[in-house]
Amino acid sequence: MITRTLGRSGLQVSALGLGCMGLSHGYGAAVDRQDGIALIRAAVDQGVTFFDTAQVYGPFTNEELVGEALAPVRDQVVIATKFGFAFDGSTSTGLDSRPEHIRTTVEDSLGRLGVESIDLLYQHRVDPDVPIEDVAGTVRDLIAEGKVQHFGLSEAGVATIRRAQAVQPVTALQSEYSLFWREPEAEILPTLLELGIGFVPFSPLGKGFLTGAITSATTFEAGDLRNSLPRFTEDARAANHALVDVVTSVAARRGASPGQVALAWLLAQHPSIVPIPGTTKQHRLTENNAAAEVKLTVEDLAELTEASDRADIKGARYPEHMQRWIDR
């Protein structure tokens, strides 16, 4: 697989990473551990070098899975994880980015991942009760101690990004971005390009919607977060499918799948964008990774962008209790 560099950081990764959350968290029951290890190692075999996890995925079990799967190839891959949630045992209880909590939970992540240093450490969500300067300063100290290599933010707004950057250079911002959700184009992406920060879109396939496999008749299993997302109600899915129809049309013309076209559109937006699609299925992994080779014409890109511009997407991204964690 071709590689990309996250902004001006010098951190080089595969053009497509692997979002590992869904193996343990968020989309129903966790996969069998050995199946999860096999999928992650298959990604390595296909040239993926960038793997994304977090403390809260599980919680904790996803970091353990990623660490075990990547142990044989540790020196060949970049592992990203995230801090920023408080826990009561294995239950998440809200946000906590106090410096002392960051230090404690980073030590825990190092142990679960089985690594001496975390390649890319994100603040998972901006904590309104802790100045971002204190967060960035704590990560700066962890970098100086060799426990962390690069600092990242997730779902942070422009003002927060600039304040963090002034204390410790930010290597990457992780936020949702796709044909299904283009809010970052207004202010976030221009700021990242100005400051030389890479962009790591999560949900680059619109939580599966842009693959064309989800219709208004689709049902999700118990524990699947899409059951609680306003954008995935039956009515919203029916209303939003017009965009998928255009993606499917372009895909047929290019001999690709709709998911590959959606990923190729993202890759074409800027060379420091590195999407992290997730999957639990090896054939989908192979399909996603092949998107790096899909060549869309200028006309294809314009048609997709215009279809997205026209789409009046129904439903909020998150329910209210999750939306309040988005820093804008």
Please give the structure tokens belonging to residue 15.
């053009």
CA distance 206 to 227: 14
Residue 27 and residue 19 in contact, taking contact as beta carbons nearer than 8 Å: no
* DSSP E strand boundaries for the chain: 3-5, 12-14, 18-19, 50-52, 78-83, 85-88, 91-95, 118-123, 148-154, 170-176, 198-202
Helices (H), 123-182: 132-144, 158-167
- Residues in Cβ contact with 136 at an 8 Å cutoff, skipping those fewer than 6 apart: 151, 163, 164, 165, 167, 168, 170
Nearest CA to 15 among 301, 291, 304, 300?
291
Q: How many CB atoms lie within 10 A of CB 162?
A: 15
The angle subtended at Cα 67 by Cα 63 and Cα 71, nearest 5°, is 175
Catalytic residue (choose from 57, 122, 177, 318): 57
Strand 78-83, strand 118-123: pairing: parallel
Distance, first Cα to last Cα, the chain: 34
What is the DSSP track for 238-270? HHHHHHHHHHHHHHHHHTS-HHHHHHHHHHTT-
Identify the helix (H) or strand (E) that includes residue 113. helix 99-113
Determine whether 57 is an active site residue.
Answer: yes
The residues annotated with a catalytic role in the active site are 57
